Amino acid sequence: ERKLVPFLRLILQSPTLVEHYYQPWSYTKKTGFNDALHSLDRLTSIDFRLPIDTSVRRFINHRDIIE
């Protein structure tokens, strides 16, 4: 529901997460992932209809966590 880019931005704004999960040489750490987020953001105008994986179905009712 067009929440991927804001969700990723939120995660990448956490220095603790970035320091813990990304190597100093990683693309994410070196660039901040900004150009990738910009590219992903351009896709928000496309209406994707992807099937829901049963492993993530339980999170559907927790939309307010991201909002």
Q: How far is Cα 24 from Cα 22, in angstroms, rounded to an integer?
A: 7
Q: Which residues contact 25 (CB under 8 A, 6 or more apart)?
A: none
pLDDT per position as a tens digit, 17-58 = 999 999 999 999 999 999 999 999 999 888 877 777 766 666
Is the pTM here over 0.75, yes or no?
A: no
Q: How confident is the model at residue 65 (pLDDT cuts 50, 70, 90)?
A: low
- DSSP code string of 36-52: HHHHHHHGGGS---PPP
Give me 8's structure tokens. 């990723």
In the chain, where are the structural domains located? 4-65
